[in-house]
Amino acid sequence: MVHSVGGWAALAGAIVLGPRTGKYAKDRSIKPILGHNIPLAALGVFILMFKFITEKKPGVPAGHRNGTGRPPDKRKKKMKTKTWIITLIAVIGLWGFVFGSLNVCAEENEKPTASADVAILSKYIWRGQELSRGSIVIQPSMTVSYMGFSGNFWGNLDTDKYVESGEDHKWNETDFTLSYGKGFGMLSAEGGYIYYALDGVDDTQEIFLTLGLDTLLSPSLTVYKDIDNAPSWYFLLGISHAFEITEKVSLKLSGSISYLLSDDKDAYPEIDNYASTGDEFENFHDGVISASLPVTVTKYITITPSLSYTFPLSSDASDEIEWRSANFRNKTSGGDNFIYGGVTVSMAF
């Protein structure tokens, strides 16, 4: 009934408004109007996928992502309400961004851009901890940008989930990021907001600020602050450098170190012998060394194989990462350092 009313209303509107300007030539022949704005089309898909995927699903136990060994929160009504609120804010903000972009585009030559990536990796590693268990993961991503503003959708699909549940939920995380960045000579700055939609555990939110220098090794410092379910600070210092091999192939080397400062002993506890000590975690956390080889296939497509090694930077971090990376289903201990890699296919418009 609802769709029928919508359809008849749309028909009435089409009759009143008439055909689109430029649709017909003077001799009444049809002039095809092809799709011409890939970024805005991608943004529409992005909004729909965000609402669909952020619906809560059971199936991932405590210990996953920001799990702490405690059972998932059962406040489903509250969680669903919060998800709706965040979705509404995101949709309003993005549509405001779109219509604002259209108005400015009429006056300026700059246009929105979009990119889409699909990464196939041997493991899902997040801040030093393994969130998959010996399975290949597929991680799609989509970004729309305009005049320094960006919106990003990112997801994780575990091809062989390590948790037994009533339903087969292989898609277990969706992240949504809004940010704004600007350059000031050699210095660049970017601030933003991240919403983490997680299966089986409470969603959480972060704000972040990144400062970078356009100089030798491109040093950058990013500060993340969790403002929701896992109160903590995460400081990330990174460097990188790219070596051009040919016109279409380059070698990129990067490294980073981090420091984790917990504000909640339940969210990020200090661990000793697979048990919480009752204290909050406060120490250097994980380091990462990576190498990638971007290969430009066409003007719009790039294929990037990569290899990374992550390791703890302190004994406290070793205990914490090993605990979070354990396989509780098989009752096997986790590791504290990992080698992982894969390939990413990117399309830019």
The pair of three-digit structure tokens given for residue 126, joined into one six-digit string: 């997040």
For all residues of the chain together, what is the average pLDDT?
Answer: 79
| pLDDT of the residue at 70 | 42
Q: How far apart are CA 128 and CA 201, in angstroms?
A: 19
Which tokens belong to 246? 């040919």
Rounded percentage of the chain residues whose pLDDT exceeds 90 = 46
pLDDT band of residue 225 (cuts 50, 70, 90) is: very high
> What is the mean predicted confidence (pLDDT) over 288-301?
94
- pLDDT for the residue numbered 162: 65
Average pLDDT value for residue range 86-90: 55
pLDDT the model gives residue 335:
83
pLDDT of 206 strictly over 50? yes
* CA 14 – CA 29 distance, rounded (Å): 19
Comparing C-alpha atoms, which of 328, 324, 329, 334 is closest to residue 65? 324
pLDDT surpassing 90 at residue 18: no
Compute the distance between CA of residue 76 and CA of residue 71 in angstroms, rounded to an integer.
13
pLDDT score for 69: 43
- The DSSP annotation for 9-57 comes to HHHHHHHHH-SPTTSB-TTS-B-------HHHHHHHHHHHHHHHHTS--
Q: What is the pLDDT of residue 168?
A: 55
Q: Is the dihedral of CA 123, 235, 277, 76 positive or negative?
A: negative
* 8 A C-beta contact, residue 182 and residue 72: no
Task: Tell me what the mean pLDDT of segment 182-207 comes to.
Answer: 91
For residue 101, the tally of other CB atoms under 10 A from its CB is 21
Residue 127 pLDDT more than 90? yes
Over residues 170-193, the pLDDT tens digits come to 888 999 999 999 999 999 999 999
State residue 21's pLDDT score.
75
pLDDT digits (tens, 9 = 90+) for 235-279: 999 999 999 999 999 999 999 999 999 998 888 899 888 888 889
β-pair type (137-146, 187-198):
unpaired
**Crossing angle for the helix pair 76-107 and 38-53, to the nearest 10 degrees:** 170
* CATH level 2 (architecture), domain 38-348: Beta Barrel (2.40)
Residue bearing the bigger pLDDT, 233 or 79: 233
pLDDT score of 67 = 47
pLDDT band at 133 (very low <50, low <70, confident <90, very high): confident
pLDDT, residue 44, reads: 65
Is residue 193 within 8 A of residue 179, CB to CB? The reply is yes
Is residue 334 within 8 Å of 322, Cβ to Cβ? yes
Residue 94 φ/ψ, nearest 5 degrees: -70, -40
Q: So what's the pLDDT on residue 341?
A: 96
Q: pLDDT, tens digit, for every residue of 21-73? A: 777 777 777 777 666 555 566 556 656 655 555 554 444 443 445 444 444 44
d(CA 318, CA 261): 15
